[in-house]
Copies of this chain bind each other. A is one copy, B any other.
């Protein structure tokens, strides 16, 4: 059982629309949309060994701001609930959390402090986006190009021991500015790739009722190797944005990105003729 399967068990309770994106939506009276997201991280499974409290605080906020960024929204407020095994960890943790929030134009506006067996952090953030440019997972249209920002795979490589990429794992950078530009240019769908590129492409394909075909030769890899390609496709922890857009939209887009494929009819994610497995990062229970 993993967290994606578990989510299926409560979809009827929460609603399909409410569980279809990383961010919720709430229509504001002036035609803007408030988007919000929440993420739970805890020490034994989410924070790599040797991380400082500052880095844990930064990462806790960054994962949620990355969700906000994937809608094209500007982050506004962040809430940080932290369960602490030792109270002296709070100040450096919150220094990292506040630093990350402020770097991306958000404010830590509240939180909760609890005692806990292990350091556990839940961040919730909301942001504001004009409804005309708001991006979701659905919306990808046959003929659109599939694009990605950054060089996914480096966080996975760092997890595997490649010290030169540790900064990408420990202090990931949510692509807030890129997300705003991509949405304004008129992308048809967007999400972040923190669970892995292929599994995120399946999320877009499922939500949009389309297939995706990837062009292997175009992948932005951190090095030319089969290992780097595997990290790119299936590694977790990176904060690139995956989006689909028409040629016309891409002409207006002024941010760095790589075209890695296109949207086709179907329901699978392929690389040439090969249907890629639906796998990426997941929380797993042994049962």
B37 and A110 contacting across the interface, CB-CB below 8 Å:
yes
Taking CB atoms, residues of chain B closer than 8 Å to A115 are 3, 45, 283-285
Instruction: Quote the shortest CB–CB distance from A97 to chain B (angstroms).
Output: 9
A113 and B3 contacting across the interface, CB-CB below 8 Å:
yes
Instruction: Tell me the count of chain A residues lying within 8 A, CB to CB, of chain B.
Output: 64
For residues 1 through 22 of chain A, which have their beta carbon under 8 Å from a beta carbon of chain B? 1, 3, 6-7, 9-10, 13-14, 18-19
- A248 in contact (CB, < 8 A): no
Taking CB atoms, residues of chain B closer than 8 Å to A268 are none
- A159 in contact (CB, < 8 A): no
B40 and A110 contacting across the interface, CB-CB below 8 Å:
no
Would you give the 0/1 interface string for A236-268, flagging 1 where the beta carbon is closer than 8 Å to chain B? 000000000000000000000000000000000
**Which of A75-83, A162-170, A174-182, A210-218 is found at the contact surface with chain B?**
A75-83
- A118 in contact (CB, < 8 A): yes
Taking CB atoms, residues of chain B closer than 8 Å to A62 are none
Q: How many copies of this chain are found per oligomer?
A: 2
Instruction: Quote the shortest CB–CB distance from A137 to chain B (angstroms).
Output: 14
A112 and B39 contacting across the interface, CB-CB below 8 Å:
yes
A77 to B115, CA, bound (A): 26
Q: A107-B18, A112-B122 are in contact. Are A87 and B1 (CB under 8 A)?
A: yes
Residue of B nearest to A30 (CB): B29
Instruction: Quote the shortest CB–CB distance from A13 to chain B (angstroms).
Output: 5
B29 and A87 contacting across the interface, CB-CB below 8 Å:
no
Q: From the candidates B18, B28, B29, B118, name the one contacting A109 in the complex (CB within 8 A).
A: B18
A26 and B87 contacting across the interface, CB-CB below 8 Å:
no
A29 and B26 contacting across the interface, CB-CB below 8 Å:
no
Q: From the candidates B10, B79, B86, name the one contacting A287 in the complex (CB within 8 A).
A: B86
Would you give the 0/1 interface string for A26-60, flagging 1 where the beta carbon is closer than 8 Å to chain B? 10111010101111111011100000000000000
Residue of B nearest to A101 (CB): B14
- A126 in contact (CB, < 8 A): yes
Q: A10-B90, A87-B287 are in contact. List 6 more A-B contacts (CB 8 A).
A: A6-B87, A6-B90, A38-B112, A40-B82, A45-B114, A113-B283
Interface residues of A (CB under 8 A from B): 1, 3, 6-7, 9-10, 13-14, 18-19, 23-26, 28-30, 32, 34, 36-42, 44-46, 76-77, 79-84, 86-87, 90-91, 94-95, 98, 107-118, 120, 122, 124, 126, 283-285, 287
CB-based closest 8 A-B pairs: A122-B122, A24-B109, A124-B124, A40-B81, A24-B110, A38-B79, A40-B114, A29-B30
